[in-house]
Amino acid sequence: MRKPIIAGNWKMNKTPAETAALIAELKPLVKEAGCDVVICPPAICLPEAAKAIKGSKIRLGAQNAHFMDSGAYTGEISCGMLKSVSVTYVIIGHSERRQYFAETDKTVNQRALAAVRCGLIPIICVGETLPEREAGYTDALVACQTLIALAGLTGEQVAQTVVAYEPVWAIGTGVTATDQQANETIGVIRKTVTAKYGAKAGRAVRILYGGSMNPANVKGLMAQTEIDGGLIGGASLKAGDFAKVVMHDR
């Protein structure tokens, strides 16, 4: 059985003080969670978040990581730096990174490899735009993105990674893929992993839905056989809403 994950991507929101306050509000609401709970605040908030989550079930994630250990990469943060402030997970290749900051399939792979080498768990994002879906390219595109992102990893390593399917057309728009659409595409990703890395990796890899999951639609999405959790955007910025997603089965 794959343990579900609900991860909150805070994007460019919250100061360190606001981070501490949100976590303090969230902790009692998710203390009985049956899933892995992850928050991914901005990098400047990670040390404060690490202190605030102590004694709770919440784990810490980052929103990005560079693929080099150190060097002349102004503005970047290495996996080792993240690990030094108690980060466990790191989002890799979010569509906003691809769209606004020239992230490519190649750099997604480089960052994923660096995260695994460092002992972090990558949450690797894949997904299609609306024109790509309308043209019928969804399955081929997410399969290709997945294979490139995982290239160079062993089956055992792939089994420990997390993939997030995020239809770009559903991020921050309030539009959500139907339960069936999300489940079918995540099934394609799982079949892709299975074909390349074997049945054990295919069964073990956890695949999340990352397109506007919220308290209103979480039960339907999480009832699907292939969906192992969610990468939550806007709903993760309010403790009550995020807790409702985390505790959807209670």
Q: Cβ(207)–Cβ(5) under 8 Å? A: no
- pLDDT attached to residue 187: 98
Better-scored residue on pLDDT, 148 or 131: 148
Average pLDDT, the chain: 96
DSSP sequence for 175-240: ----HHHHHHHHHHHHHHHHHHH-HHHHHH-EEEE-SS--TTTHHHHHTSSS--EEEESGGGGSHH
- pLDDT attached to residue 58: 98
Instruction: Give the residue from 229, 250, 226, 173 showing the smallest Cα distance to 8.
Output: 229
Active site residues: 94, 166
Calpha distance 244→216 (Å, rounded): 9
Is the model's pLDDT at 175 over the cut of 80?
no
Please state the pTM of the whole predicted model: 0.96
Q: Tokens standing for 61?
A: 């994630």
Instruction: Give the residue from 201, 108, 103, 91 showing the smallest Cα distance to 146.
Output: 108
- pLDDT attached to residue 100: 95
Q: How far is CA 224 from CA 143, 182, 183, in A?
A: 20, 9, 6
Q: Cβ(195)–Cβ(225) under 8 Å? A: no
- pLDDT attached to residue 12: 98
Instruction: Give the residue from 122, 213, 186 showing the smallest Cα distance to 160.
Output: 122
Residues 130-140, mean pLDDT to the nearest whole number: 93
Calpha distance 205→108 (Å, rounded): 18
Q: Tokens standing for 234?
A: 């806007």
Domain boundaries, the chain: 5-245
Interval 39-90: pLDDT, tens:
999 999 999 999 999 999 999 999 999 999 999 999 999 999 999 999 999 9
pLDDT confidence tier of residue 200, bands split at 50, 70 and 90: very high
- SS3 (DSSP) at 86: coil
CATH superfamily name and code, 5-245: Aldolase class I (3.20.20.70)
Q: Cβ(79)–Cβ(115) under 8 Å? A: yes
- pLDDT attached to residue 1: 83
- pLDDT attached to residue 219: 96
